[in-house]
Structure 1
Amino acid sequence: MKKIQFLASIILVNVILVSCSKEETYVEDELNAVYATTSSANKYSELIQDRSVNLDLSVNDFAFYDDLSRAVAPSECSTTDFDAAINETIAENLDQLGAEFYSIYSDINFYMSLVDTSPQYFGENGRYTNLMKKRVREHEKFWDMPNEVAVKGQHNSNFENESLLRETLPFLYGPTADIDALIAEISAINEESTFLIENPYVSFDGFAINIDNFFGKGQGDIIVISDGIVSVMEKAGIDADIVWTGILAHEWGHQIQFNNTWGYPTEAGNIPEATRSTELEADFFAAYFMTHKRGATYNWKRVEAFFDLFFNIGDCGFEADGHHGTPLQRMDAAHRGYLLAQSAQKKGHILSPEAVHNAFVAELPTIVE
């Protein structure tokens, strides 16, 4: 979880973010190899100057602490098939401008996801919009959270939406920035770089966020799911409906955490351990909903195939503040969530979030062993 503060006009907004997108470290070498051949003093350099956004990456929720006293004890972990799938996707049309401006486009896309209050769609041309509306209604009923969370899609096409760019760019460049000039430069980059408009990795977010009262009542709890993550997993052979459902269920687990002040058996000061606990619990919540008789009703075999790839997003960054747990730990957490759902299968009883949390905490020491 990250706490992000940014300045928009004279309003300072506290943002609490749980980002569940893949850590970017595994593509840095490939991107930097291209960037090294590109002059940083090119005609687009003004786009990256005088950025007013202030990113504070301190952690301050779920009993997180300011100082790292010790890292999570390393356990069995290795690179995964998901890493390879993403690297293959990036290599399809990575160009020099893509390498240089990917990070900026990623930041802009993040803020566009928060600012956009237009009717949302999911997948290219809204292919999965009806599915997602159905899943959102199911989550609201299952967890008794009606009209509480705004679920949004993230798309590469946002960079061709001038009105959305015009609304978003002041968050990054300040209220006095020449927005017309910035939009013109983005348009020029779009024309020359196929990567920044076409590659799924440019829209590759999946996160839950809470911004109380900033976008108005009912707009503070947000989940964003990008087209990119789903398309890469679909290309790897996972049914898209399970991917959309699984990511939504995981992020909804974080929204449940936002609503509570739960504790976890973690050592004071161990930020990676605390982050891992909340991420593994979100996996536990996701599997509980996806396999419950009154949830998404998937059988374990179908869900396991999704988890097998999705939990490859698990990482080996044992000392990283954003450590999500290893792929093996994430799969174990999900399987135990499934078993919890099956234990009440005959009656179809839905446990309260508090009861599911208590069940997870009891299992956590075994999961991380």
Structure 2
Amino acid sequence: MRHLRPFAAVALSAALVAAPGIATASPVLTGSTTAVAASAASDPAALKARIARLMPKTDSATKRQLDRLIRDPHRIDGSQYQCGPTEFAAWQRQSTADWTDEDFQILDALGAFDLPTYEALVYGSENDPAFALRSDAQVLQKTFRKLKKFWDIKSDDIQLMAMHGDMMRDPARTSRVYQTVFGVPKAEADELASLLAEFIAQPKFQGGNHPLFTLNAFAFSSYGEDVDGLGVIGDRIVMGDGILRAYREMGYGDVAPQAILAHEFGHHVQFELRMHGDVASPEATRRTELHADAAAAYFLSHPRGMSMQIKRVTQFLRVFYSIGDCGFDSNGHHGTPNQRERAGNWAYQLQESARPKGKVLSAAEFTRRFEAVLPQLVAPDAA
């Protein structure tokens, strides 16, 4: 069983294939950027038809493998829970205010919201400059070192790296992802890659650096298994530039990097404890997401973790709160904002009540206590 656990509201799928790394190439565009943008504006249907012609009509074997992991969920009754718009959702709307419906459709058809994630999963390496952390690199590296000492799990094989949206400006990089992940023949992949590079050159997309393209972070483990005979994808945590930028713009820049990384490391705790079952459902994802929230809050507030004070604890609880969702019937349901905040508060109180002060629970004991309190964390709260 393989797992990709997205932190952000943008839930992107994983490409379960392995391939060697490649040096970053210089962007090479074909045609005119103005022409592609003009085509999208004057005849978006024609551009979408061109993309559809180039894309495979059926999913590749890699995508079918992922689809087998998605099963009909047992629906959670959303009417029983308080759940509404969050600060994070408002930020997303504001940041794309100048995007049209056609923009979203064309970008989606080109796979633009998935490509950076796929590339980091398939080709990423912490030793490759193409996946180097940029913003918040120092604090992320420091937090990562502390996390590995804090939790009593095997973690020396976890790589920490970044994904960057500006990789889509480089047709050589996007073409190889189209080929490897989407199963597109090279000629068609090259054409799609050039179309994408030209389309995102429009100022509103910031050359791929618009945060929506990397509004995600994820933890991954294949449990050391060979993936379809193509090799083993190593354990990793991938931080998106977009998710870090989003929280900086919302005013959480001094705490969000640590909170997001600690959350993703919480998923690696789960991988080591084999918490993930074979059936995908809203309840199953909510359980693991709330556990990761709690694990992060425990580490961030603990004297032997990041030792954050109450003011900063409140801040990172807001980080978790603002990224909750109301997708009760989605296999990617992360928990409502209230549930995520309750999980963080519970973990903070657990740390505060520890005796002797400073004692760190084992990952297994922390999880046992979380499982015991989970029914209270997810109890209906609608008035």
When normalised by structure 1's length, the TM-score is: 0.80
Figure out how many residues of one structure are paired with residues of the other and give that number.
Answer: 332
Q: 1:251 aligns with which of 252, 261, 264?
A: 264
CA positional deviation for 1:234: 1.3
Tell which has more relative contact order, 1 or 2 (C-alpha 8 A, sep 6+): 2
Matched, 1:223 2:237: yes
Change (3 A) 1:292 1:45: same
Matched, 1:77 2:83: yes
Q: 1:336 aligns with which of 336, 342, 346?
A: 346
Distance in 2, Cα, partners of 1:173 & 1:263: 26
1:86 maps to 92
Q: 2:326 aligns with which of 313, 316, 320?
A: 316
1:234 maps to 248
Matched, 1:197 2:184: no
CA positional deviation for 1:246: 0.4
Q: 1:129 aligns with which of 119, 137, 140?
A: 137
Greater Cα shift, 344-353 or 110-119:
344-353
Letter in 2 for 1:322: G
Matched, 1:160 2:169: yes
Change (3 A) 1:163 1:133: farther
Distance in 1, Cα, partners of 2:10 & 2:77: 17
Q: Map Cα deviations across residues 6-42 of structure 1 (whole Å, 9 max, x no partner).
A: xxxxxxxx74221222158xxxxxxxxxx99862222
Distance in 1, Cα, partners of 2:173 & 2:335: 35
1:294-313 matched pairs, under 5 angstroms: 294-313=304-323
Distance in 2, Cα, partners of 1:67 & 1:160: 37
Q: 1:260 aligns with which of 273, 279, 292?
A: 273
Are 1:44 and 1:185, in contact at CA under 8 Å, matched by a contact in 2? no
Letter in 2 for 1:85: W
Aligned residue for 2:238, secondary structure, equals strand
CA positional deviation for 1:171: 2.0
1:45 maps to 50
Q: What is the aligned-residue identity percentage?
A: 30
Are 1:38 and 1:96, in contact at CA under 8 Å, matched by a contact in 2? no
Q: Map Cα deviations across residues 211-269 of structure 1 (whole Å, 9 max, x no partner).
A: 3455966x52122221111212111111x2411110111111111111123489xxx98
Are 2:172 and 2:190, in contact at CA under 8 Å, matched by a contact in 1? no
2:160 maps to 151
CA positional deviation for 1:58: 4.6
Aligned residue for 1:42, secondary structure, equals helix
Matched, 1:116 2:116: no
Distance in 2, Cα, partners of 1:361 & 1:315: 21
Change (3 A) 1:19 1:43: closer
Letter in 2 for 1:244: P
Distance in 2, Cα, partners of 1:78 & 1:202: 24
1:19 maps to 6
CA positional deviation for 1:306: 2.7
Distance in 2, Cα, partners of 1:318 & 1:96: 25
Are 2:56 and 2:184, in contact at CA under 8 Å, matched by a contact in 1? no
Letter in 2 for 1:81: E
Structure 1 portions without partners, runs of 5+: 1-13, 25-34, 61-65
Letter in 2 for 1:284: A
Aligned residue for 1:237, secondary structure, equals coil
Letter in 2 for 1:209: F
Are 2:297 and 2:347, in contact at CA under 8 Å, matched by a contact in 1? yes
Q: CA RMSD in A?
A: 3.0
Q: Map Cα deviations across residues 288-330 of structure 1 (whole Å, 9 max, x no partner).
A: 1111111111123212223214322211222222221111111
CA positional deviation for 1:146: 3.7
Distance in 2, Cα, partners of 1:161 & 1:227: 17
Change (3 A) 1:356 1:175: same
2:147 maps to 139
Change (3 A) 1:69 1:204: closer
Change (3 A) 1:248 1:345: farther
Q: Map Cα deviations across residues 65-120 of structure 1 (whole Å, 9 max, x no partner).
A: x55345256312112222111100111x4257632333210121221121222144
When normalised by structure 2's length, the TM-score is: 0.77
Distance in 1, Cα, partners of 2:101 & 2:330: 29
Structure 2 portions without partners, runs of 5+: 12-39
Change (3 A) 1:294 1:194: same
Matched, 1:283 2:293: yes
Aligned residue for 2:44, secondary structure, equals coil
Distance in 2, Cα, partners of 1:313 & 1:116: 26
